[in-house]
Structure formats: C-alpha cells, structure tokens
Amino acid sequence: MFRKSSKHLLFFIIAFVIGNYFLMYIIGSGPWKDLVTGDPSEHLAGLGGMIIFSGIFYFIFSWFREQVCTIVCPYGRLQGVLLDRNSIVISYDYKRGEPKGTFFKGEDRSKAGKGNCINCTQCVQVCPSGIDIRNGTQLECINCACCIDACNAMMDATSQPKGLIRYASEKMIAEGHKVKFNARTIAYSAVLVVLLGVFTYSLTARSPIEATILRAPGMLFQEPEPGKISNLYNIKLVNKTNQDLPVELRLLSHQGEIKIIGNDINVQKQTVGESVFFLILSSKDVISDKTKVRFGVYSDGKLIEEINSIFVGP
C-alpha cells in the first residue's frame, strides 16, 4: 500500500510540474509567477487551468498510459495510410530472425535450423506501447527505437550480428537490400535543409523588439495651443532579448514633437512593455483628416523598427 501510494504521489508531482510548465507556455512566465504568488481568489481562472492540466497528465500517468498512443494520438492512423513497401521504419528482419529459437551457448544455430532471434522478448519488454515489433509495423509504434537498442545488446551478448531490428523498409528486408539514397530520400532531405535554413534565418534576422503603435480608441484630435494639433497614441513593445532595452521614439516623416506620458520607455528582458504618448504636429503639416505618419523605434541610438500610423486632423 505504501509503495502504491508513493508511486501515485510521484505521478502527481510530475504531472503538477508538467502542468505548470504547460500553463507557463500559454500565459508566459510573468503572469504564471503572479498566479502562484498572488492571492488565489484573484486568479481563479489560472488556478482552474493549473488543476485541469495537472489532472489530465496525472490521469495519463496513472491509468491511460500507452492508450494515448493507441486511441488518442493520430500519428498511428496517419502512418497506416502514408506508408508503403519502400517506407523506412523500425522493422524486424524476419529473413534473419526466423525461425525463432532459444539460445544455447556453443550451439550452431544454422545447423539447428534456428534464426538469429533467440526469443528473449527484450524488444517487447522495453517497448513503451507494449507491442511486439516482430509482428510488423503497428499503429501503436512511436518509433522510439528502444527495441533496436535492446535487440542489439542481446545480439552482442550472443555473438551475433547486430541489426536484427533496424531501420529498413519491408522491400529492403524481403530483397536483402541495404539502406541507400533514392530520389525520395534526396527530395525529403532537400526539403528538410530548406526548412532548417528558413528557421535559422528567422531566428537570426528577427528584430529584437516588436512594436505596435495605434491611436487611442475613441479619442479625437486636440489643439494644445494655436497652430498645433495633437493625437494620443498607445505603444506596445515586445522585448525578445535577454537584456533590458531603453527605447526612444522619433518621428521620421514630419517635424513634430513626441511627449511620453510618464517615465521614459524601458522594456524589461523577455517581457511586454506599454506606454502612452502625444504626437504634436504643426497645423500646416496636417493636410487632411487622416495624415500618414511614420515613427522610428530606437534603442541606444540604433534604429530597430519603423512603424506607420495615422494622424487625425480637422
């Protein structure tokens, strides 16, 4: 009873940790910290989400287990309709392995009419889905390759060649061919290289700050003094770097004045910062009821991003 209770307690602790990480991924680390350190009555929705995520993962660990792969995960169903005889998957070499037979030290298995498979069932015991790969590819298989490692270890122990279970296609095993590059493999490799290149470029070329500037909703223009017109704007800044960034706004399209309401803009690392400011233009520069203006977002004197917006006038 103690062992069973300890096991379920450990399952719940792991589920709780994973559930919190999952919630942090959705709402961000800052709001999550406020959630766990603040008054529970002020974060009922967040606490409810935490309990639900933890409960789902605990349910999977304690009872559902490999049935996730069998019933819930769509991968196995897709695998069944996308594979053919040329698809390279984790396969059992039945040409080498059959007929199965118990291993006896010093025995000549070929003379005894036995294949390389010693029927140790190690491949079944290590499989997280509980399948026997020797029966062929099955929808429960998650391609973790645990069976390959277990089988190779047994082949070493019995002084037989490795690779009884390996990555191969059904055609390769039936015809005794080795893995080789064909047109499909080359095409898939080329697509993968292109995708990795695009991903790498998007990471290295992205702007350290993502800024959005919008006019304050429901606000009309104002005339703070004769010959001057002002609009109120909201600015939202996402700092994607690991250091705090001081931000300066400049007007690039006109001669005007920007007045920040409150303190200067300084966005903390990996956070979102917001501020409000007035843009004041000379009335002679406002040539229509909607004048296009362009802002520059600077940090340490370096232009990071340019943003277009609208200035409303009479």
Q: pLDDT tens digits for the chain (314 residues)?
A: 788 888 888 989 999 998 888 888 888 777 888 888 888 888 888 888 888 888 988 998 888 887 887 788 787 777 777 888 888 899 999 999 999 999 998 888 888 899 999 999 999 999 988 899 999 888 888 889 999 999 999 999 999 999 999 999 888 999 888 777 778 788 989 999 999 999 999 888 777 788 889 898 888 888 888 889 999 999 998 888 888 888 889 999 888 889 998 888 888 888 888 899 999 999 888 888 888 999 999 888 888 888 999 898 87
d(CA 263, CA 276) in angstroms, rounded, equals 10
User: Are residues 250 and 306 part of one domain?
Assistant: yes
Within a domain: 79: no
The pair of three-digit structure tokens given for residue 161, joined into one six-digit string: 């060649």
48 assigned to some structural domain: yes
Q: Could you tell me if 227 and 140 lie in one domain?
A: no
Domain tally, the chain:
3
Its pTM stands at 0.58
Q: What range defines the domain where residue 304 resides?
A: 209-312
Q: Is residue 196 part of a domain?
A: no
CATH number at 215 reads: 2.60.40.10
Same-domain status, 113 and 166: yes
Cis status of the peptide bond prior to 74, with omega within 30 of 0: no
Q: How far is CA 252 from CA 219, 297, 306, in A?
A: 23, 10, 9
Is the residue at 57 inside a domain?
A: yes
Task: Answer whether residue 223 is part of any domain.
Answer: yes
Residues 232, 300: one domain? Answer: yes
On whether residue 301 sits in a domain, the answer given is: yes
Domain limit, last residue, from 126, 149, 175: 175
